[in-house]
Structure formats: C-alpha cells, structure tokens
C-alpha cells in the first residue's frame, strides 16, 4: 500500500503543478482533443472518489484531537 500512497502523492503534486502552469481556460483552448476527451470521460469517477476520500477525512479530522496519553493508554489496554 505504501507504493500506491507514494504514487498518489506524486500524482497530486503533478496535478498541482499543471494547475499552476495552465489555467482551466488555457487547458480548454490549448490541450489537444484526445486529452480533453479523456479528461471529460475519466474525471467524474476520479472526482467522485476524491470527493468521498475528502469527505471522510474532513469528518475524521473535524473531531476533537486525542491526547498522546489517551493513545498510549489505549495501546496498553489502559493499564499503567
């Protein structure tokens, strides 16, 4: 799974670089037809997956933080 996570991080960085280099309007007018068609076909599924992951992370990260002491107690079964 680490390999997949590394690939995912690389893709995020690459997409971020593209979005900084080319505006959406420029992409629409300058990308070739094949690139635009592939984007049009593939993006809804990718966007749905990314949106689901983002929503789950948002829900997870919006909760109260757990202290390190609480985490340590959980790992040892609460006995000290």
pTM of the entire structure? 0.67
Q: Flag whether pLDDT at 33 surpasses 70.
A: yes
Q: Does residue 19 lie within any of the structural domains?
A: yes
Does the residue 56 lie in any domain? no
Local structure of residue 12 (DSSP, 8 states): H
* Domain tally, the chain: 1
Average pLDDT over residues 19-45: 98
CA-to-CA distance for 34 and 38, rounded, in angstroms? 6
Residue 73 dihedral angles phi and psi, to the nearest 5°: -65, -40
Residue 22 near residue 30 (C-beta atoms within 8 A):
yes
Question: What is d(CA 64, CA 72) in angstroms, rounded to the nearest whole number?
Answer: 17
Domain ranges, residue 29: 1-46
Tokens of 56: 């789950």
- 30 vs 22: CA distance, rounded Å: 9
């Amino acid at each position: 799974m680490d390999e997949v996570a590394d690939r995912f991080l690389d893709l995020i960085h690459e997409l971020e670089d593209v979005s900084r280099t080319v505006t959406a309007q420029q992409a629409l007018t300058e990308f070739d037809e094949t690139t635009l068609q592939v984007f049009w076909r593939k993006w809804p599924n990718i966007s749905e997956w990314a949106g689901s992951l983002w929503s789950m992370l948002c829900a997870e990260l919006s909760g109260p933080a757990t202290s390190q002491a609480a985490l340590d107690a959980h790992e040892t079964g609460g006995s000290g």
